[in-house]
Amino acid sequence: MSTRDQIVEAADGLFYEQGFAHTSFADVAGAVGISRGNFYYHFRTKDEILDAVIARRVEATRAMLARWEEESGDPAGRIRCFIRILVANGGKIAAFGCPVGSLTAELAKLGHAAQAEAGQIFTLFRDWLRAQFEALGFAAEADGLAMYLLSRSQGAAVLGSAFRDEAYLRREADDLCAWLDAKLSPTRKD
């Protein structure tokens, strides 16, 4: 792996675990094991690293959504893949929150120009979820349902990390799956 990729990967993790403002050049350089001079050769400013980290996350999100598209045949199964992030990444979410939500929140406070780019990852999820709901027959409702799922997930991530409660994240994921099942079987509502 190239030095540049190592830097972006280390910065990605550090931005997630300790925030963008609280992560310094020295932190990233130390994590990679290179000198600050070498660092400056690849990224001249902190904002450049942030842009690269966001681009990396966007690409990783795209790849993940595409993988779900392959692995799961039906749209409902794909939506369950999304819900399961809360469980699969439960440990990190309980400790550091949602990577997307916490970064956009921090950039919004900093008034940073890259906030719009970071928020684009939300749009990625939103559009993908809406497409799944549309495939399930929820034409006009689809975007609202996508936003509902996004919102519930973000709320769960915030409270899960505030209370440092991984079990709560599992319960929320189960509850969301139950909500999805109820939406799919219009015979009876709980």
CB nearer DNA, residue 29 or residue 93? 29
Is 108 a residue that touches its own copies (CB under 8 A)?
Answer: yes
Is 31 a residue that touches DNA (CB under 7 A)?
Answer: no
Q: Which residues contact 169 (CB under 8 A, 6 or more apart)?
A: 86, 87, 90, 93, 94, 156, 157, 160
Q: Which residues contact 90 (CB under 8 A, 6 or more apart)?
A: 160, 166, 169, 170
Measured at the CA of 51, the angle between CA 49 and CA 55, to 5 degrees, comes to 115
Q: Which does 26 bind (CB under 5 to 8 A by kind): DNA, its own copies, none?
A: DNA
CB nearer DNA, residue 4 or residue 62? 4
Q: Which does 152 bind (CB under 5 to 8 A by kind): DNA, its own copies, none?
A: its own copies
Residue selected from 36, 62, 67, 109 as contacting DNA according to rule CB under 7 A:
36
- Residue 129, class by beta-carbon neighbours within 10 Å (0-12 exposed, 13-18 middle, 19+ buried)? buried
Is 37 a residue that touches DNA (CB under 7 A)?
Answer: yes
Q: Which does 67 bind (CB under 5 to 8 A by kind): DNA, its own copies, none?
A: none
Chain residues in the site for DNA (CB under 7 A):
3, 23-27, 34-42, 44-47
